[in-house]
A = this chain, B = another copy of it.
Amino acid sequence: MSAQHVEHVEMTGHIVDSLLLPKVLDAILSRGGRYHIETLRLGQRQDDPSFVRLEVRADAAEQLETILADIHPHGAVPAQSGDCGTVPADIAGAYPDGFYCSTNFRTQVKLAGDWVDVEGQEMDCGIVVDPTGTAARCVPMTAVKTGDHVLVGRQGTRVFPPEAEMRRHELFEFMASPVSSERPKAVSVREIAAAIRKTRAAGDKVLAVLGPAVVHTGGGELVAKMVRDGFINVLFAGNALATHDMEQAFYGTSLGVSLDQGLPTVEGHEHHLRTINRIRRIGGIRKSVETGRLTSGIMYECVLRDVPFVLAGSIRDDGPLPEVVTDMLAAQDAMRRLVPGVGFCLMVATTLHSIAVGNLLPAWVKVACVDISPATVTKLMDRGTTQTVGIVSDAEPFLRSLAAELERGGT
């Protein structure tokens, strides 16, 4: 009759104004549970953390379990928690049943009574505890080896969801609605420029994720300059972006359309394939630069400035270029290796790569996603990349404004 199944949970942080506590209370009630607020200490100033301790009750054990599962991602953790539990992987390339599924939020696990940060935080992975039992890290499904100690269940785990209000006051001052094109664009440009400078000043890297429309719309030189000036420090793209960029260097066209005239050129549609063939004959992008055959553009600047890049393949690729990683797991690993140290990520005009990279980034790396289609930004947000500010705008004119803003501030 009365709710017999009880658990005590605690939350700390900006839990009221970041809407975490209300969400937890709502979740408890929605699942038919009850709560009693045992302690509630509200921060008096904006920077003060709050603390709450709740008694959660449910009529059945299963119901209580559902409630606890539902509130866990909001940072609500049982007040007394034992160490996390693991099970050895019985086969390679798959987790044991009941494995803990990671988010991109900062996560800790309890090992020998201590809360320890999980390394390589990334969503949709399992967590493997070190044989020594002193460390834990996110491991993709295909990388699981037989015998790995894989985390199961929620016990001994806690997550630190980003606090909504922090987002607003930290890297970005504005909270653009992610899907409207009707926002003051100069403000977005200024904020992104500031984010880039702040990232650089902190010694962190700026990651650019670029789609082919960057070159089609005529923004190639603007990006090349950003690489040259040190505003882009890592590049993720595909075969198309790199090929269009080098087609522009070789022929002045992008998919055969003259970037000066806006008109298709004779046999221009062949330039794409001839560019790839030429680079393959030379032996790659790097070698094309070293031998003086490629002398301008985004890829040229990347090679010249030692800006690491990953060109990930896709099934729509022609060729591809020798540097393109055609195996998807290898491409993900190549990107994964370059994520540490990234402090800010600028995505322009690419749906596939944006989602892929959004999946790899921990929640504390801020992301600005610029695309002319509101649907791309929506997709990114829907998949849980909550740290993203979406800007619906056109690649070249937007990059032109951004380049001018960065110029104004000096390199």
Chain A 229-272 interface mask (CB, 8 Å, partner B; 1/0): 00000000000000000000000001101111111001101101
Interface residues of A in 89-145 (CB under 8 A from B): 91, 93-95, 97, 99, 101, 124, 141-142
Say if the beta carbon of A372 comes within 8 Å of chain B: yes
- Residue in contact with A373 in the complex, picked from B34, B101, B375, CB distance below 8 Å: B375
Complex: how many Å from CA A36 to CA B45?
10
Given A328-B328, A397-B393, A273 contacting B141 (CB threshold 8 A): yes
Q: Could you say which residues of chain B place their CB within 8 Å of the CB of A305?
A: none
Closest 3 CB pairs of A and B: A397-B397, A187-B262, A184-B218
- Would B91 and A281 count as touching, CB distance under 8 A? yes
A173 near B: Cβ within 8 Å? Answer: yes
Size class of the contact patch on chain A: 35 or more
| Interface flag for A379 (CB, 8 Å) | yes
Chain B residues in 8 Å Cβ range of A276: 141
Contact A259-B184, Cβ < 8 Å, known A141-B273, A352-B314: yes
Cβ–Cβ contact B263 & A173, under 8 A: yes
Structural contact, A45 and B25, CB atoms closer than 8 A: no
Assess A328 versus B319: contact at CB under 8 Å? Given A216-B184, A375-B373: no
Return the contact of A180 from the options B18, B277, B378, B398 (Cβ within 8 A): B378
Decide if A39 is an interface residue (CB 8 Å cutoff). no
A342-368 vs B, CB cutoff 8 Å, 1 = contact: the mask equals 000000000111011001000000000
Question: Is there an interface contact between A176 and B262, defined as CB atoms closer than 8 Å?
Answer: yes
Nearest-neighbour CB distance to chain B for A89, whole angstroms, equals 10
Asked if B218 contacts A262 (CB within 8 A), the reply is: no
Give chain B residues whose Cβ lies under 8 Å from the Cβ of A262.
173-174, 176, 183-184, 187-188, 191
Chain A residues 363-411 with CB under 8 Å of chain B are 372-375, 378-379, 382-384, 392-394, 396-398, 400-401
Enumerate chain B residues within 8 angstroms of A213, measured Cβ to Cβ. 181-182
Q: Of B46, B217, B384, which is within 8 A of A182 by CB? A: B217
B374 and A316 contacting across the interface, CB-CB below 8 Å: no
Given contacts A187-B261, A257-B183, A313-B328, contact A382 B101 (CB under 8 A): no
Residues of chain B within 8 A of A181, CB atoms compared: 213, 217, 372, 375, 394
Kindly list chain B residues whose C-beta atoms are within 8 Å of the C-beta of A378: 177, 179-180, 374
Chain B contacts of A263 at CB under 8 A? 173-175
CB <8 Å contact, B30 and A46: yes
Nearest chain B CB to A143 CB, angstrom units: 12
- Scan residues 130-174 of chain A and give those whose CB is less than 8 A from a CB of chain B: 141-142, 165, 173-174
Q: Choose one: B141, B182, B267; the contact of A382 (CB below 8 Å).
A: B182
CB of A221, distance to nearest CB on chain B (Å): 10
Of chain B, the residue at the smallest CB distance from A98 is B274
Q: How far is the CA of A37 from the CA of B383 in the complex (A)?
A: 37
CB distance from A358 to the nearest CB of B (A): 9
Complex contact B318–A352 (CB within 8 A): no
Closest to A34 in B: B44
Q: Pick the contact of A392: B188, B320, B394 (CB < 8 A).
A: B394
Q: How far, in Å, is A136 (CB) from chain B's closest CB?
A: 18
